Structure formats: structure tokens, C-alpha cells
Structure 1
Amino acid sequence: MMAISSSDLLNEFTIYADKVVDEKETLIVQRSSGKNIVVMSMEQFNELQKEIFLAKNAQEKK
């Protein structure tokens, strides 16, 4: 997991976007307002959504 500033992301978006996708890196973008965000690949996002769905269904079956 990497943490960068929002200005770094804007200045080097393509580099960071490729790193997120190619290296399956999660990126924390720190904003001066403190309203930070997380950037992840679509593949990672879909995997996370699947895990949440499966965990929720497992709990409902109990």
C-alpha cells in the first residue's frame, strides 16, 4: 500500500494508475482537507465486492 498527495496523483496520474493495475497496488491519496481516498484497480474492487457478498450471504444463512 502506498500513500501519496493528491497533487502527486494529478501530476503523475498515468504512472500511478499503471502501478495500481499492473502491480495490484492500493493507493491512499492524502488530501489537505483530510478527506482521503483509496484508489484500487477494477479487478481488486470486484474481488472485494465478491468477498463482501459471500460474507454477507454466509451470515444470513446462520
Structure 2
Amino acid sequence: MDVVHYSSLRNNLKSYMDRVTDDYETLIITREIGKNVVMMRLDEYNNLMESIHLLGNSLNRAALEKSLKQLEQGFTVKKSLIDIEDNQ
């Protein structure tokens, strides 16, 4: 994670945007009055929003936690994929 002042960002916008998109760099942009912002790749933002959504619902969070606990305890089943051509 890197920090840059908005005037530097403004003067070098393409370079900073390339760093964010190409290097998966999250950028904090500081402003004079302290209302800072974050620049990140869209796919990272979407992943973050999805995680917040999934964990924000208590029932869904409980189901995910139960599944993780089962995985940690070795309660998994290994299955083979069925070849479609064999079933026709």
C-alpha cells in the first residue's frame, strides 16, 4: 500500500493508475483537509464488496464458518468428475 498526495496523483495520474492496475497496488490519496480516498483495482474492490456482503449476513456467515470448521477437521469428500461421453 502506498500513499500519495492528490497533487502528485493529479500530475502523474496515468503512472499511478498503471501501478494500481498492473501491480495490484492499493493507493491512499491524501488531501489537505483529511478526507482521504483509496484507489484500487476494480476486481479487488468487487471481491471486497462480495466478502462484506457474504459475511454481513449472520446466517450466511455461520454457514461459511461451519464449512471452514468441517474442512479444518478433515470432513471432506473427494469425488471424481464424470466424463460426459461415458454417460451418453
- TM-score (normalised: structure 2): 0.65
Give the SS at the match of 1:3: strand
One-letter amino acid of the counterpart of residue 39, structure 1:
M
Match of 2:20 in 1: 20
**Can you list the C-alpha shifts for 1:1-58, whole angstroms capped at 9, x where unaligned?**
000000010000000001001111110001011111111110110010111111013x
2: CA distance, partners of 1:10 / 1:23: 19
> Counterpart of 1:41?
41
% identical aligned pairs: 38
Q: Structure 2: 5+ residue runs without aligned partners? A: 63-88
Count residues with an aligned counterpart: 60
Q: Give the number of the structure whose residues are more often strand, by fraction.
A: 1
2: CA distance between counterparts of 1:26 and 1:5?
Answer: 14
**TM-score, with length taken from structure 1:** 0.90
Query: Which residue of structure 2 lines up, in the alignment, with residue 30 of structure 1?
Result: 30
Give every structure 1 segment of 4 or more consecutive aligned residues whose post-TM-superposition deviation is greater than 3 Å.
none
RMSD: 1.0
Residue segments in structure 1 that go unaligned for 5+ positions in a row: none
Higher RCO (C-alpha under 8 Å, 6+ residues apart):
1
Residue identity in the other structure for 2:10: L
